[in-house]
Amino acid sequence: MKLRDLLRGEAAIDPQAAELAVAGVAVDSRAVKPGDVFFALGGHKTDGARFIEAAVKAGAVAVVTGHPHTASVPVVVADDPRRALALAAAVVYPRQPRTIAAVTGTSGKTSVAAFTRQVWDSLGHNAASLGTIGIVSRHRNVYGSLTTPDPVALHRAIDELAGDGVTHLALEASSHGLDQHRLDGVRITATAFTNLSRDHMDYHPTVEHYLATKLRLFTDLAPEGAPAVIAADHEHSATVIAAARTHKLNVMTVGRQGEGIRLVEAAIDGFGQRMTVEHRGQNWRLRLPLVGEFQIENALVAAGLVISTGGDAAQAFAALEHLEGAKGRLELVGDRFGAPVFVDYAHKPDALVKALEALRPYAKGRLVVVFGAGGDRDAGKRPLMGEIAARHADTVIVTDDNPRSEDPAAIRAAILEAAPGAQNIGDRAEAIRTAVAALAPGDVLLIAGKGHEIGQIVGDKVLPFSDHEAAAAALAEHAT
Ligand SMILES: CC(=O)N[C@H]1[C@@H](OP(=O)(O)OP(=O)(O)OC[C@H]2O[C@@H](n3ccc(=O)[nH]c3=O)[C@H](O)[C@@H]2O)O[C@H](CO)[C@@H](O)[C@@H]1O[C@H](C)C(=O)N[C@@H](C)C(=O)N[C@H](CCC(=O)O)C(=O)O
Ligand SMILES: Nc1ncnc2c1ncn2[C@@H]1O[C@H](COP(=O)(O)OP(=O)(O)OP(=O)(O)O)[C@@H](O)[C@H]1O
Ligand SMILES: N[C@H](CCC[C@H](N)C(=O)O)C(=O)O
Ligand SMILES: [Mg+2]
């Protein structure tokens, strides 16, 4: 591989440097291997240019940056080095499943990706999903940390999945990922949008910027004619539909106002929901084995993706009856005296409302919630979540989520200000124990915010922690 093969059209390269043999790409000096091209990117915390020397020492044979720098190896200046990196990664890792569906939206991405994989699988395809909970396929179950990994990790993973024989991949497109061009070079064949509500206001200056970033999936990344499955029942649905149509995508709307798949009616049925949907003039009655009205939206987006990429509608709807929720998404993890305990990943205002609303019908007694908020993330959501918990739950225990570099007590205080009467228990395991110990028949407990996570980030350390394990331990301790 020559340097010019990696940077086709993305940067003007000196003819001599263009012929340089290169082995791969790296975005972190600590990951450079001999023969790699090091991409020195200006970042949010530091500047990759500060690590050029370290990268060269580790064996980098060329550097790509946004601004001129001197180094002992050729330096190429690219207009958009993040995009150049993603496109180069796609050259280094060239194999991709032939069907790749990318889903964006504030909430529901992980669930839609997991459901789409499951429905494809039941139709006989070798399917995978990639996102917040990691990579899941017939051959792999790898825990992840980012929703959309950095381009090098992402393209490597996609290449490996294709190598495993995966033909159908559903992946999550986060707004950070879209903004930072992590997904450029992925040959996306179908797209989806769930919803948009307040999130990441520490990163995006305005909601309009946040929405515009999400729209990149439809306006920049998807090729003309690709399906765009859009949940139709939201404030921003019309904007997304218009953007997708303008870019000549093949729009399929789903939901109560959906024209592709219309939700005719739905009703709770135990820890599941019975529903009727209409598709191409035909009605389908089915039972979704999941708690939470929002899961209907996620299931219909997943069915839409499968059908619009050529899957049989009857088989797709039949598969919805066997869906398993993504780990830690309104997951029933046990009960005390018949009072159910759920673990959920709601860590933003709208998700917390949806999770509490979903559980309210099951609470003959009190609806109890244990939650906190992550440090180094949008501080504005803390009082909003406090207010939501106070309004939608009967008993509120505010605890720590991932404090990261912040003072956990200050994070809790910001939530508690809007949740008068809430208990303040920093230690998350103790908060869960306290909630479980007080459960009575008819109560429901929601443990929100960390879902599938198996660590708690305190300062620079990741301490082992799982809401599943903490709940199980508390339930065992209070078994009688
Ligand atoms: C704020 C943010 O999005 N940061 C992402 C961004 O990092 P950055 O470029 O700003 O990094 P930086 O730390 O300033 O460093 C600048 C450059 O120096 C390099 N460096 C740094 C140190 C060193 O020793 N050597 C070196 O080469 C870094 O690799 C980087 O290229 O680009 C990196 C590579 O793609 C990402 O790993 C990193 O994600 C960090 C870890 C992160 O926490 N991101 C979160 C906020 C995130 O992306 N979340 C989304 C949204 C989830 C959701 O929807 O809820 C996600 O997709 O997960
Ligand atoms: N369609 C939806 N509408 C509203 N809330 C939802 C929806 N789907 C899921 N949620 C809520 O959001 C939480 C996260 O769901 P999920 O992991 O599927 O979304 P996500 O978009 O991948 O989130 P993240 O960006 O945090 O990874 C769930 O635990 C639930 O509380
Ligand atoms: N993808 C989200 C996850 C948040 C999960 C929550 N437990 C927290 O730490 O705030 C983020 O990185 O902002
Ligand atoms: Mg996710």
Helix (H, G, I), strand (E, B), or coil: what is residue 255? strand
Q: Is there a binding annotation on residue 82?
A: no
Q: Is there a binding annotation on residue 108?
A: yes
pLDDT at position 201: 67
Per-chain residues with Cβ under 5 A from ion ligand 4:
109-110, 132, 147
**pLDDT tens digit string along 320-345?**
999 999 999 999 999 999 999 999 99
Query: Which ipTM score applies to this complex?
Result: 0.96
Percent of the chain residues topping a pLDDT of 70 = 99
pLDDT at position 203: 72
Pocket of ligand 1 (CB under 6 A): 27-30, 41, 43-46, 48, 51, 146-148, 150, 174, 176-177, 180, 182
* Closest atom, ligand 2, to C-alpha of 231: 1
**pLDDT tens digit string along 372-430?**
999 999 999 999 999 999 999 999 999 999 999 999 999 999 999 999 999 999 999 99
Q: What is the mean pLDDT of residues 456-465?
A: 97
Cα–Cα distance for residue pair 201/196, rounded to 1 Å: 13
In the predicted structure, residue 34 carries a pLDDT above the cut 90:
yes
In the predicted structure, residue 480 carries a pLDDT above the cut 80:
no
CA dist 223 to 56, 75, 113, 218, 234, Å?
Answer: 37, 32, 20, 8, 25
In the predicted structure, residue 198 carries a pLDDT above the cut 70:
no
Q: Going from the N-terminus, what domains does the chain have, and what CATH number goes with each?
A: 3-86 (3.40.1390.10), 99-321 (3.40.1190.10), 331-477 (3.90.190.20)
Q: What is the pTM of this model?
A: 0.95
Taking each helix axis as running N to C, give the angle between helix 294-308 and helix 109-122, from 0 to 180 degrees, rounded to the nearest 10: 50
**pLDDT tens digit string along 115-131?**
999 999 999 999 999 99
**pLDDT tens digit string along 153-184?**
999 999 999 999 999 999 999 999 999 999 99
Pocket of ligand 2 (CB under 6 A): 105, 107-111, 132, 147, 172, 194-195, 294, 297-298, 326, 329-330, 344-346, 350-351, 354-355, 451
3-state helix, strand, coil in the chain (%, to 5): 35, 25, 40
Q: Of the candidates 402, 371, 376, 404, which has an alpha carbon nearest to the alpha carbon of residue 465? A: 402
**pLDDT tens digit string along 222-240?**
999 999 999 999 999 999 9
Distance (Å) from CA 347 to ligand 3 centroid: 7
In the predicted structure, residue 45 carries a pLDDT above the cut 70:
yes
Helix (H, G, I), strand (E, B), or coil: what is residue 350? helix
Ligand closest to 174 (CA) is 1
Is the CB of residue 18 less than 8 Å from the CB of residue 6?
no
In the predicted structure, residue 199 carries a pLDDT above the cut 80:
no
Partners of residue 274 on adjacent β-strands? 267, 287
Summary mean pLDDT of the chain: 95
Q: What is the mean pLDDT of residues 431-459?
A: 97
Is the CB of residue 136 less than 8 Å from the CB of residue 110?
no
In the predicted structure, residue 206 carries a pLDDT above the cut 90:
no
Cα–Cα distance for residue pair 242/263, rounded to 1 Å: 21
Percent of the chain residues topping a pLDDT of 90 = 93
In 58-148, which ranges are continuous DSSP H helix? 81-92, 109-122
**pLDDT tens digit string along 255-277?**
999 999 999 999 999 999 999 99
Distance (Å) from CA 27 to ligand 1 centroid: 10
Helix (H, G, I), strand (E, B), or coil: what is residue 368? strand
pLDDT at position 77: 95
pLDDT tier at 251 (50, 70, 90 boundaries)? very high
Pocket test for ligand 2, best of 104, 109, 111, 371 (most atoms within 8 A of CB): 111
Kindly provide the residue ranges of all beta strands, DSSP E only, lying in 315-394, ordered along the sequence: 331-336, 339-344, 367-371
pLDDT tier at 132 (50, 70, 90 boundaries)? very high
Q: Which residue's CA lies nearest to atom 23 of ligand 2?
A: 107
Q: Is there a binding annotation on residue 107?
A: yes
pLDDT at position 334: 96
Ligand closest to 134 (CA) is 4
Q: Is there a binding annotation on residue 404?
A: yes
In the predicted structure, residue 202 carries a pLDDT above the cut 80:
no
pLDDT at position 8: 82
pLDDT at position 144: 86
pLDDT at position 210: 81
